[in-house]
Structure 1
């Protein structure tokens, strides 16, 4: 997989054979960041990447100039890979947090400009993730929570749902909550 844009555009990140995470495809990631490029200036953004997997999304945000990117990943091998690759790429703005995403949401006190989640598509309870993110109160008002998921899920009836973008079999649902 390759970094699509920013200072590291074209650099490759290659997980070892047998890696147990499914990376967001380059095609889908490029589509996602085309949408975000039209709505955000990446400099000064604080970003949270839940279910970090390969680190591809975190690295993309960092390459494009996000001030800080936190990547939360529970699997030891995946967390180690993300940390090693961030160092190899010189991404001092990426912080690896090895934790269960749901436990992390219960203790996180930071506020973010973008929260991205790419859970395993077969994760039991995937449909509850938007509510858990908004209950944790970790997003600045009007900012996006973006959930990557397969076509078997639809979030159009969620009160904070704003739009969905599809790239092949990959769906991104965008949510935001205005100030109360």
Structure 2
């Protein structure tokens, strides 16, 4: 995996053997960020990266000088890996890394975000909980966007605030708008 654009362009995100996370492919990530660039001016925005895994999305976001990121994952080894990459990329002042169950994090946080990205395991059963909590707790800023990455067998189109889905190979991004 590599950072596609920005100040960290061409930096590699290495993944240790037996890493407990499935990274977003470069192909899908490039499609996602092309879509986002048509909607947002990235300067000084705040990202929440749920089920952060490799930190791939957070680092791509920060590479484009988008502001700040909060990366949340429940796995100790994942969090340790993101901290290591943060240090090697010299991004410590731009990212907060939180070890927590994402549903519990959403139940407790009072922060608001411009973009919330969630990449739960494809077989996970809490996609709808993420959507519900983001809107119940009013966690998006005005014109904010929630994006959930999922596989082809998951259909989120019946959930409230659903806007559209875009597919990139086996990866689907479902977008939910504030309005």
- Structure 1 stretch 124-133 or stretch 139-148: which is displaced more? 124-133
Greater Cα offset, 153-162 or 101-110 = 153-162
Shift of 1:47: 0.6
Tell me the residue number matched to 1:83: 83
Show the counterpart of 1:162.
163
Q: CA RMSD in A?
A: 1.0
- 1:81 is displaced (CA, Å) by 0.3
Paired residue for 1:102? 103
Distance in 2 (CA, whole Å) between partners of 1:177 and 1:113 is: 10
Match of 1:38 in 2: 38
Shift in Å, 1:137: 1.4
Equivalent residue number for residue 25 of structure 2 = 25
Q: Which runs of 4+ in 1 moved over 3 A?
A: none
Q: Give, in whole Å, the separation in 2 of the partners of 1:158 and 1:124.
A: 14
Matches within 5 A, 1:31-180: 31-91=31-91, 92-178=93-179
Preserved CA contact (<8 Å) 1:163 1:174: yes
CA distance in 2, matches of 1:18, 1:157: 35
How many residues align? The count is: 178
1:3–1:59 CA contact under 8 A, matched in 2? yes
Instruction: Provide Cα deviations, 1:45-96, integer angstroms capped at 9, x if missing partner.
Output: 0110000101000101011112110000110000000011011001131110
Secondary structure of the structure 2 residue equivalent to 1:79: helix
d(CA) in 1 for partners of 2:72 and 2:80? 11
Distance in 2 separating the partners of 1:168 and 1:80: 30
TM-score normalised by structure 1 residue count: 0.95
Give the whole-Å Cα distance in 2 for the aligned partners of 1:147 and 1:10. 25
> Deviation at 1:127?
3.3
Q: Could you tell me whether the CA contact under 8 Å between 2:46 and 2:67 is conserved in 1?
A: yes
Q: What secondary structure sits across from 2:111 in the alignment?
A: coil
Whole-Å separation in 2 of the counterparts to 1:45 and 1:21:
26
2:148·2:174 contact (CA, 8 Å) conserved in 1?
Answer: yes
- Asked whether 1:11 is paired with 2:11, we answer yes
Deviation at 1:117, TM superposition (A): 0.1
Question: Taking structure 2 as the reference length, what is the TM-score of the superposition?
Answer: 0.96
